[in-house]
Amino acid sequence: MNIVYHENTRTFHLYNDRISYIMTILRNGHLGQLYFGKQIRDKEDFSYFLEMSERPMSSGIYENDRSFSLEHIRQEYPVFGTTDYRQPAVEVRQENGSRISNFCYKGHVITDGKPVLPGLPATYTEADEEAKTLTVMLEDAVTGVQVELYYTIFARGGVLARSVRISNGGTQAVRLSRAMSLCLDLPDREYVWQQLSGCWARECHIRTRNLEPGITAIGSMRGNSSHEHNPFVVLRRPNADERQGEVIGISLVYSGNFRLQAEVDAHDTLRLLAGVDPETFEWKLESGESFQTPEAVMVYTDRGLNHMSQTFHKLYQRRLARGYWRDRVRPILNNNWEATYFDFTEERLVEIASKAKECGVELFVLDDGWFGARSSDRAGLGDWQANRDRLPNGITGLAERIEAMGMRFGLWFEPEMTNKDSDFYRAHPDWILATPERSQSHGRYQHVLDFSRKEVVDAIYEQMAAILREAKISYIKWDMNRSITECYSAGWPADRQGEIYHRYILGVYDLYDRLTTEFPQVLFESCSSGGGRFDPGMLYYAPQGWVSDDSDAVERLKIQYGTSLCYPISSMGTHVSVSPNHQVFRDTPLHTRANVAYFGTFGYELDLNKLSGEENEEVKEQIAFMKKYRQVLQYGAFYRLKSPFEGNETVWMAVSEDQKTALVGWYRVLNGVNGTYTRVRLEGLNPSYCYRNVYSGTTHFGDELMCAGLITSDETAGQVPAGVKPYTDFESRIYVLEAED
């Protein structure tokens, strides 16, 4: 790992054993992009990568010189209107109305380690030797606005983290109307674009398209990163697949409005931009003030999609998630929501928890309905005190009863919201986001609190902290069930209203930071009607998130498969729920519901008292299995082997760090008859280890399982013998492979 600056050619080269990133200072003082890809040898001059040549009808910067135009030069942080007609990375509106800027090189510094981004989540280092950071300073001489471009290259993996700090060093106020975190100009468009899209209950479906001239983009203007589009995209070469080929992944560490876009120009060069959504953003910078963009993380590999995913998994597990629970296996929980909804008493909860404890559950979670006048979703949000009619001993008393059973206790909050039917709203009607003299839209009968205001965040913090200080609470499910509308804050002047979306999410981060600092051993799980804010920004504070409100095992195959493109298995909240499922009303076998949920944090979303004795014995076996193998399942290397988006079967696997244990999840949606014989080639095993297949009792060397494959055929490939339990739709198996001594 190194960062080299070649003075004679004014060239920067960032590299480790995986990647190289090369830039140069252009003739006009701007920063130009030369190369991003597989690691290449360092040398002084890479200027031939610039591909700068005169093109017909291009506008030139210098008088009587047509050879230099920004229209066809790859750049690091481009502006609009000075011969570059593509979408810019930054736009500064000045007091005279001009949006023209000219950011020229002023200097640079190279430091060990990685700087902290104040108020924002970001990847981090624990030792200086883990990374190096290049900071390049640019300045606009007319306005005095300064730009600092941060590039951190990690010692291990093809990872580059980028962000930008913009400061007003002039005497007049300016307004940022665009401040992207990353611009990456690439020399060609021969990539396939992949995104994770969907909506509530079918999040993170993989969508694929070819890049054509024009703009391909995803984003959110909802105030949260959204169910519709995750802040993550992949560019892969057309011949790349899970196992081989060039792949670039871009992930934005942010939980608010965002945009990721690829622009292909008339000459088939490609500009990728990532950052805060510019349509809903404006930021006033008074003299001396600064704005910090969120961090964007770039991963390059020439070893296919799975290697890109594993790079993200390792980075986000170990150097984005933080704290007590970062490296620990997660407790197996039972959540009461689908078991009771709002209809419960303390005794009913204790009854559910007692059966859960009997089956081996480690954590009981009380969901919505425990506070204020909360008997439905129409009232009570904001009044974070126990409803004594339901819980006569309060949260403290219930928690003590659960703890006395030998389990931990967890609690649901939705701290960013209020109902108009609440004491909190009646005391502070101006504390919601609402535009004067306009209608106030609701979602789920609730309104969004104005977290851009410190006094609002303070008030919610004091209520939550009071409960956490008093009661024995080990886990918090932090929900957020609606997007922002009428985004206006009564606490800020008119010329600051363009800042409210971003200030809101900064307030969310501030509340998370205060709570996780004061209560470091509480496990936080983020939720936003499921996956509406499942993003890297949340992962910094909450090491796991509820992937989707849809807990149907068949639907979860696509949701969890897509999510794994960027996010580690340890971050995915996965539960066994009742059958028929409450979202799609599908009947699925109990073992299949568990076999899908194993590849995540694992828990139950039902009342185990309502299962048969035989089913409860099966649940006990499932919990014992998860306890035995959760280290491998949650922290092992994860491989996608067969995609649910491409056929009737899904296969994935996790391999322990020492390669001695592997668990293969095999899932078939619809049953067949007289079908083909099937096998799947495994990944990540040690070729020389001999593995015993616990499912079949057979033994195979690792090279055999990876080259010839694991046989997955069953009796549906022939005729089911008499006396053999028939297979059904929604069948699944877990193959356990243990290396023999």
Active site residues: 479, 549
The DSSP element (H or E) to which 103 belongs, if any, is strand 103-112
Which 8-state DSSP code applies to residue 267? T
As a whole number of Å, the end-to-end CA separation of the chain is 38
Tokens linked to 338: 């689908």
Candidates 389, 570, 396; CA nearest to 467 is 396
201 — phi, psi (to 5°)? 75, 0
Q: How far apart are CA 572 and CA 634, in angstroms?
A: 9
E strands, 539-602, are: 544-546, 572-573, 575-577
Which 8-state DSSP code applies to residue 486? S
Tokens linked to 414: 């939705």
The DSSP element (H or E) to which 477 belongs, if any, is strand 475-478
Q: Is 263 helix (H, G, I), strand (E, B) or coil?
A: strand
Degrees, nearest 5: CA angle 268-271-272: 135
Strand 159-168 to 295-301 pairing: antiparallel
Evaluated on CA atoms 55, 61, 67, 72, the torsion sign reads negative
Distance of alpha carbon 741 from the chain centroid: 39
Q: Is 200 exposed, middle or buried (0-12, 13-18, 19+ CB in 10 A)?
A: middle
45 — phi, psi (to 5°)? -120, 115
Q: How far apart are CA 44 and CA 48, in angstroms?
A: 12
Strand 270-276 to 258-264 pairing: antiparallel
Helices 454-470 and 394-404 pack at an angle, to 10 degrees, of 40
Distance of alpha carbon 315 from the chain centroid: 12
Distance of alpha carbon 609 from the chain centroid: 35
Q: How far apart are CA 208 and CA 305, in angstroms?
A: 13
Query: Position 617: which residue type?
Result: E
Q: Is 334 helix (H, G, I), strand (E, B) or coil?
A: strand
- Under 8 Å between Cβ of 368 and 387: no
- Under 8 Å between Cβ of 477 and 525: yes
Tokens linked to 247: 């792949």
E strands, 599-657, are: 603-605, 637-642, 649-655
- Under 8 Å between Cβ of 650 and 644: yes
> Helices in 365-499 by DSSP H: which ranges?
394-404, 423-427, 454-470
Contacts of 342 (CB under 8 A, 6+ apart): 368, 369, 374, 375, 376
CB atoms within 10 A of CB 129: 11
Q: Is 26 helix (H, G, I), strand (E, B) or coil?
A: coil
Alpha-carbon dihedral 721, 724, 730, 736, rounded to 10 degrees: -110
Helices (H) and strands (E) in the chain, counts: 12, 39
